[in-house]
Amino acid sequence: MTASLVADLHAFAAAGVKEFRILRRYPTLFLGFLFWPIVLPFSYVLQARGFAGGNAAAEAAFATRAGTADVVGFLFLGFTAYMWISMILWGPGTALRTEQVRGSLEALFLTPASRLVILFGPAFSQIVWALYMFGLVGIAMVFVFGIDIGLVEAIRALVIIAVATPALYGMGALFASVVLRFGEVGALVQTVRGIFTAFCGMTFPIIVLPEWGRAVALALPPTYLIGGLRSALLAGADLVSLIPDMAFLLASGLFLCAAAVVAFRSTERYARRGGSLAQY
């Protein structure tokens, strides 16, 4: 039992290292990791400047709705979360799909490694990229845009990221099951990403949504991640005041991970019976 667990942990680490090595083979991907976390939110900062138009009433309206007058921090945090979520939604599903296209998925399923390794292993390396992205954005916020973020606030943000991780990776793993079942994930990812963009408050305070829209937003884990990060880093909220948000994130994380494991097992059975594992 212990030996099996150790072997699975080794396999888990090996899956993460493999994904990292593949990333290292394509240096232009590194450029993207440097470019998009800064340029994409900055374009929304410029847009916000256009919408504010230097008008004091417009700026005050934003501050009242957002709970902060710090437009730059508000948008950078929202977009960093968005990019992390995008990475997670595409990550595990795309990794399995790539194995399917390369013809190596069957070989992978024949190894004695646990299915959990196959499901969550590729996501492991992405945690490194997520931390890198949050670090890069943090540096830009502090040193380029002059936002005051102390060590305590940074630690609080890291706790929120850690608490949100199971929920987000659970979603990613659910998408991976969809890949095995239907062979294509693009349209579904686009749809879900669209829902997150429209409801979770990446570029706006959710108070501007109509009532039904707010209800949708409050049922989605990314809303709590984004809201928690903004509260901790921009409004100086302590972790105690964020316990209800973190409890929701943890509960949804448990549910989504369990659902992903069940869905993956059921999909695997379906693929084995129908012999569709290598079909795409």
Nearest to other proteins of 210, 275 (CB atom): 210
Q: For residues 249 and 81, is the Cβ–Cβ distance under 8 A?
A: no
Site for other proteins contains 44 (CB under 8 A) = yes
Whole-angstrom distance, CA of residue 95 vs CA of residue 109: 14
Contacting range for other proteins; rule: CB under 8 A; set: 13-21, 41-49, 129-137, 224-232:
41-49
At closest approach, how far in Å is the CB of 196 from other proteins?
A: 9
4 binds other proteins, rule: CB under 8 A: no
What minimum distance in Å lies between the beta carbon of 97 and other proteins? Answer: 16
> Does residue 43 interact with other proteins by CB under 8 A?
yes
Exactly one of 10, 21, 24, 49 binds other proteins (CB under 8 A); which one?
A: 49
Residue 68 engages other proteins in binding (rule: CB under 8 A):
no
Least distance CB 187 / other proteins (angstroms) = 6
**Smallest distance, Å, CB 188 to other proteins?**
11
Which CB atom, from 26 or from 106, has the smaller least distance to other proteins? 26
42 phi, psi to nearest 5 deg:
-65, -35
Give min distance, CB of 2 to other proteins, in A. 45
- Residues touching other proteins: how many (CB under 8 A)? 40
Check residue 188 for interaction with other proteins (CB under 8 A).
no
Q: Which is nearer to other proteins, 105 or 202 (CB)?
A: 202
Three-class SS of the chain: CHHHHHHHHHHHHHHHHHHHHHHHCCHHHHHHHHHHHHHHHHHHHHHHHHHHCCCHHHHHHHHHHHCCCCHHHHHHHHHHHHHHHHHHHHHHHHHHHHHHHHCCHHHHHHCCCCHHHHHHHHHHHHHHHHHHHHHHHHHHHHHHCCCCCCHHHHHHHHHHHHHHHHHHHHHHHHHHHHHHHHCCCHHHHHHHHHHHHHHCCCCCCHHHCCHHHHHHHHCCHHHHHHHHHHHHHHCCCCCHHHHHHHHHHHHHHHHHHHHHHHHHHHHHHHHHHHCCCCCC
Taking CB under 8 A as the rule, does residue 32 contact other proteins?
A: yes
Q: Out of 16, 73, 91, 205, which residue is the one contacting other proteins (CB under 8 A)?
A: 205
Candidates 181, 197, 216, 270: give the one binding other proteins (CB under 8 A): 197
CB of 124 to other proteins, least distance (A): 24
Q: 87, 248, 262: which is closest to 174 by C-alpha? A: 262
Quick check: 31 binds other proteins (CB under 8 A)? yes
Q: How far is the CB of 56 from other proteins (least distance, A)?
A: 9
> Quick one: how far is CA 26 from the chain centroid?
22
- Point out which residues bind other proteins (CB under 8 A): 26, 28-29, 31-32, 35, 39-40, 43-44, 46-55, 57-59, 61-62, 65-66, 75, 187, 190, 193-194, 197-198, 202-205, 208-209
